[in-house]
Structures are given as C-alpha cells and as structure tokens.
Amino acid sequence: MRLWLGSCWALGTIVSKRFPVAAPPLTIAAWQLLLGAACAAAGMLIFEPIALPQAFQPITIAAFLYHVLFAQALAYVLWFAALARLPAGTASLGTLMVPAIGVAGAILLLGEKPTLTDFSGLMLVIGAASAVIMPLRRV
C-alpha cells in the first residue's frame, strides 16, 4: 500500500512540475483537499456504517478541524509553494524531516518516551537531510 501511495505522490509531483497550474498554492491545495474529501466521504458512505452520535463530541470535532485546517491544509500549501519555487528533488528533501517533527510532537504532546534506537534513527535522518540540503563550502 505504501508503494502505491508513494508512486501516486511521485506521479502527481511529476505532473505538477511538467504542467504547472497558474494558481496560488493556497488555491491548488484547497481544491485538492476538497476533491479528496468528497472521495473520502463517498467511500465512507458506501463502505462504513453510519457514525454514532457520540462520535461528534466537541473534542472530536476540534481534533478533526485541527487535522484538516492546520496539519493537512498547511502541509499542502507549503508543498505546492516549495514545488513551484524549487526542483522536485530539492522540494522532496524537506519531507525527510517529517518523522523527526512527528516524534518531537509525540514527545511534547503525548509524553511518549522514544528509545535510544528511535533517537539514533532520527539523528541519522536529520544528518542525511542536513548533508544534502547544506551547500558545499569551498576550502
């Protein structure tokens, strides 16, 4: 499944670079999220039972709005803005930091305690991203 999702993301990136849309990143992200939400809603109605009323508690609605408006929308706006200004390979390097930010969020918000192996892996990912992003210094 991850290979399929990664392949679709890569294909979308290639198409976006080859055939750029003359619209601001916010507009592109809004349409993409709106169309994706419509597909998800249709799938939910077809394949899932009707949600129970207790699923619509204020905390659930707040978490949903945070996820959609902040996490997803902001990520897509930033992605399309980076893709419009940078080569696709360079823009995609920024995604290497996603796991590090996720773990930092889990530590701060959920109180999780990563293992030494987790920290080692994160340091390697951060080091790899830094090594590629940092410009070479001529001696």
Q: Is residue 73 located within the same domain as residue 57?
A: yes
Q: Is residue 59 located within the same domain as residue 98?
A: no
pLDDT at 139 > cutoff 70: no
Domains in the chain, number: 2
- Tell me the average pLDDT of the chain: 80
**pLDDT at 52 (0 to 100):** 64
Last residue of a domain, one of 61, 85, 109: 85
pLDDT band at 53 (very low <50, low <70, confident <90, very high): low
Q: Is residue 71 located within the same domain as residue 102?
A: no
- pLDDT of 95-127, one tens digit each? 777 778 888 888 888 888 889 998 898 888 888
Tell which residue, 107, 128, 110, has the closest CA to residue 118. 107
Domain ranges, residue 73: 24-85
Q: Is residue 98 located within the same domain as residue 137?
A: yes
- pLDDT of 25-50, one tens digit each? 778 878 888 888 888 878 877 887 76
**pLDDT at 136 (0 to 100):** 66
Q: Which two tokens stand for residue 6?
A: 């990664």
> Residue 50 corresponds to which amino acid?
I
Give every CB contact of residue 79 below 8 A, 6+ residues apart in sequence: 25, 29, 91
pTM of the model: 0.58
CA distance 72 to 65: 10
According to the per-residue pLDDT averaged within each range, which of 3-7, 78-82, 96-100 is highest? 78-82
Give every CB contact of residue 30 below 8 A, 6+ residues apart in sequence: 73
> Is 5 within a domain?
no
Whole-number percent of the chain with pLDDT over 90: 1
Tell me the average pLDDT across 81-85: 84
